[in-house]
Amino acid sequence: MKKIFTKEFTIGLSVVIALLVLFFGINYLKGINIFHPTNYYYVSYTNVAGLSQSAPVTINGFKVGLVREIEYEYDNPGHVRVELSLDQALRIPRGSKAVLVTDMLGTSSIELRLNTGNQFHDIGEKLIGENSTGLMSSITTDVMPGIASIIPKVDSLLVAITTIATDSALINSVHRLDRIMANLESSSTQLNKVMNTMPGIAGDAGTVMKNFTKVSSDFTTISSDLAVVSTELKQMPIDSTMANIHTLSIQLNDLMRKINSPNSSAGMLLNDTQLYNNLNNASASLDSLLKDVKKNPKRYISIKLL
């Protein structure tokens, strides 16, 4: 008996099965269920930008079909025919519109806007097609002109800011300000060092601050009198104020003389180099002694065990 499943028959059957799997697979990827009965309708558009095969067809956001084919109408120049595959149970009233809607990402879909009525389209008829303005079109027509009018002003503002920022006078001013701030910081650091090395001047500084307080009070009185009436300026104790300022100047000169004098305690601390050398030598000797103690502890510490 001749064998039925010959080598050639098996190869042919495998090829047929592979073709069927490929056919069903491609349609499945397109979203087409060939086992689900559908009706076909046609729509004509002047612009199908963003629309592709298998794009959804919806009614109130619910998917009722998809785009089956898109082809150019050579017999009707300027128009593109779109074939819609819709659920078989869906009946489309006459006067309904198939609106092509584009989202913000540029992807298009078709939205069916059903009309009310008892007369329905026959299967295979052409529906009314419209292109919706959509959000992107509104942005293009409404928002973009305003942005385009603002761009020259923004450009002029940027040019002005760039001109100011690159002005050499401004750059030099910033550099001078940096140097001033650096000098102020250095002066503050030096003043702190001087104040820390002169604890004996604190009492004199207190007296000076009291005198400054008194002078400030006198100037406050003068300012208030000037605000009331200018004629009262002649009645203010300007002589006593100037005498206080003179006394303060004498005290400040005396204070600076004490600081600069090598015989005062502050002057000796600031000007005695021998004291600095002695402290430096004592520190070096102490460091050498500690190193020797760490190196030869038995020389300095003896422990006797009973």
Q: Considering Cα of 169, then 172, then 178, then 183, what sign does the dihedral take? A: negative
Token pair belonging to 97: 């519109």
pLDDT at 173: 78
pLDDT band at 94 (very low <50, low <70, confident <90, very high): very high
Record the pTM.
0.38
**Residue spans per domain, the chain:** 1-30, 34-132, 167-196, 197-260
pLDDT at 306: 45
pLDDT at 201: 57
- Please give the average per-residue pLDDT across 113-133, as a whole number: 88
Q: pLDDT for 124-170, tens place per residue?
A: 899 999 988 655 556 666 666 777 778 887 878 888 788 877 777 77
Look up residue 125 and give its DSSP letter: P
Q: Considering Cα of 213, then 217, then 222, then 227, what sign does the dihedral take? A: positive
Instruction: Report the candidate in 97, 102, 100 with the shortest Cα–Cα distance to residue 126.
Output: 97
pLDDT band at 27 (very low <50, low <70, confident <90, very high): low
Q: pLDDT for 161-201, tens place per residue?
A: 888 777 777 778 778 888 888 888 888 888 877 767 665 55
| Average pLDDT over the chain, rounded to an integer | 77
Q: How far apart are CA 177 and CA 174, in angstroms?
A: 5
